[in-house]
Amino acid sequence: MLKRLSLLFFALTLAISIPASAQWRSLGPYGGNARALAYDPSNPDHIILGSGAGALFESIDGGRHWRHFAHLGAGQDLMLEDVVFDPSHPATMYVAAWSVMGSGGGFFITRDGGRNWSEPADLRGKSVQALAMAASDPRILVAGSLDGLYRSTDKGETWTRISPVGHPDLKNFESVAIDPRNPQIIYAGTWHLPWKTTDGGVTWKNIKQGMIDDSDVFSIIIDHTNPQIVFASACSGIYKSENGGELFHKIQGIPSTARRTRVLQQDPVDARVVYAGTTEGLWKTVDGGKVFKLTSPPNFILNDVMVDPRNSKRVLIATDRAGIFASDDAGLTFHASNDGFSQRQITSLVVGTQNPSDIYAGIVNDKEFGGVFRIRNGAWHQLSDGLGGSDVFDLRESSKGQLVAGTNRGIYLLEPKTQRWVPSKDVVSQRPAPSRRTVRGKNGKVITAKTLPATLSRSVFQGRVTAVALNPRRWYAATDAGVLTSANEGKSWSGGPVEGEKAFLSVSANDKIAVATTLRKVWFTSDEGEHWSRAAVPEWVSRIYSATVASDGVVWLATREGALRWKPESQVWEHVLNGLPTHFVRSIRDEGGLLLATAEGSSTVYLSRDHGQSWQTGPGASFEITGAAVQGDRLFVTTWHNGLLMQEPQVVAAAGQQ
């Protein structure tokens, strides 16, 4: 994942000497998956942002700048879908979460402004998709989860199920709203139409009249000036009721392509103004829903909308992949407002050789808002033109300054001083043909036969490329069609399956050998890919994450069972500990003679400067670390979901003086 760096030994020594207590600074690239926004009623400049991977962010200047606030849950799987402040005690906040791994999730409470968090036992582990507080009584909360609807009357400490157990339709709750005047009246949206109770959940009524059947109800809002007016958004469009849900009518004006409206938000001052956040941009009505107009770029996917209660012209939107955008003219124009907020998943990091101040990051999961980013002079710029929204699994720089990206749609090249990626063309694969061709006459007898050469086919490879490795003479790519090699700097490629194996996950090379791996197998070549030999790994290795050929020719494997070392001349695998974790070592990289290792679930870097004979624990961070690199007097680490972190230069310099 990380490009080998040409570094001074002095710089490496500084990196090893950084104290574990040193502070990290988030560098970005900023943006990513923003899920929920909520402002402090006592101070609307104080905003909490819920995002993916269990991360909460905080702004104290109205959303102009952000900083990491808290991490909820034990892993990286939680989507923080709703955030609610207690207006009677703003230091109390509630967060609803669901897990991307399945039906799990959780509900979290802080009573001290975020320093400590707890999980009520009644909702622990539940996939909580929706959360609402009664405007007339902040002690009352309602939470909608996949298995039912729950109500609390003691500020979230205890919860009572208010939906019938085993009901065929009252399940899979995705939205909830409480009447602003009567907390006994609750509206709930499911994956199949909306429901209503007027007695706190004792009885329920299906309120589907006027809705297209089988509508997923994503959002419900109640007019704060007239509770009889109810808006509901669904996969089939936006609906409005003027009689408390007895009858809905579909609102016209939003194109059917944008009808998946994830969130509705009413202006806190002007009830006629309603925002609709859809999968194709933000729409707005100023006449109570008669006419909606698009107010954002159509490629925005909206998750939440927040309107400043003091100034309705100030609007923040939370988007998939692109992060937070702000408007100061009531939605007429928007600008990115992500400074300090990063929910990017960096898969690869390159420190520029042509311009050492440049750093390039490869991104996955963000489509047209991801790809490749470059930081220069402290500012990030997206360099994704031509990638077509591809995920970048690996990123490398050649000795001539070319950037090479391995993506889910093939291999792409970015030439120096250009701005557009181009697909690497002319992938040549050799397909064996029968050695003899037989032609039969009408009577079935053989009348001629001759030897045929193998056939060559040319195409543009569009498969998955998980890793690339470059040396001055030969480039390698690990793909889902085998191992490809190029002898002309990516102008053409050849190769394919190795001994019938296609699904290759990693590749690494130095001037003498190259190594490529699948899930459990390793091959190496010493003749630049002309012939591959199997290097049998121990049977107890169940999962290979990556391989690295170090500068001394030693091959390192990062596996589920820890780190393994192999010397081609001895062909014996050694299970290496000496300071490394015993399991789940995810990467080992040679950075100019310094070995850097990361492990699943670990927030530290493991370092060795004696060719892996011994390992030390590097500085700890607040997030799970997936890779590391050194540039001058700075240490950089990539994280699972929180972008790039850097040790402050003055901290590094001070460490070198110890």
Please name the helix (run of DSSP H) or strand (run of DSSP E) that holds residue 324, with its range, or none.
strand 323-327
In the 8-state DSSP scheme, what is residue 437?
Answer: E
Q: 344-656, which class in CATH?
A: mainly beta
d(CA 377, CA 465): 31
In the 8-state DSSP scheme, what is residue 259?
Answer: -
297 preceded by a cis bond (ω within 30 of 0): no
Contact 529, 570 (CB under 8 A): no
Amino acid at 53: A
Other CB atoms closer than 10 Å to residue 457's CB: what's the count? 9
Q: What is the pLDDT of residues 369-407, one digit of tens each?
A: 999 999 988 889 999 999 999 999 999 999 899 999 999
Domain boundaries, the chain: 344-656
Positions in the chain short of pLDDT 50: 1-21, 430-456, 650-658
At 643 the three-state DSSP class reads coil
At 228, give phi and psi (nearest 5°). -75, -20
Sign of CA dihedral 271, 276, 282, 286: negative
Contact 448, 439 (CB under 8 A): yes
CA 574 to chain centre: 35
CA 613 to chain centre: 35
Give the CA distances from residue 248 to residues 245, 483, 563, 643, in Å, rounded to whole numbers and listed in that order: 6, 58, 61, 44
- The model's pTM is 0.87
Which two tokens mark 156?
A: 């979230």
Question: What residues are paired with 232 via a beta bridge?
Answer: 220, 239
At 10, give phi and psi (nearest 5°). -60, -40
Please name the helix (run of DSSP H) or strand (run of DSSP E) that holds residue 190, with its range, or none.
strand 186-190
- Strand intervals (E) in 488-624: 493-496, 506-509, 514-517, 522-525, 533-534, 544-549, 555-559, 562-566, 573-576, 585-591, 594-599, 606-608, 616-617
d(CA 476, CA 229): 62
Contact 633, 22 (CB under 8 A): no
User: DSSP letters along 22-44, please?
Assistant: PPEEEEE--EE-EEEEEEETTEE
Task: Give the chain's end-to-end CA distance (angstroms, integer).
Answer: 32
Contact 325, 317 (CB under 8 A): yes
Q: What is the pLDDT of residues 110-154, one digit of tens each?
A: 999 999 999 999 999 999 999 999 999 999 999 999 999 999 999
Give the CA distances from residue 579 to residues 64, 614, 626, 645, in Å, rounded to whole numbers and listed in that order: 43, 6, 18, 23
Three-state helix/strand/coil letters over 524-545:
EECCCCCCCEECCCCCCCCCEE
Question: The tokens 């570094």 sit on which residue?
Answer: 7
Residue 624, pLDDT score: 87
Residue 237, pLDDT score: 85
d(CA 414, CA 3): 16
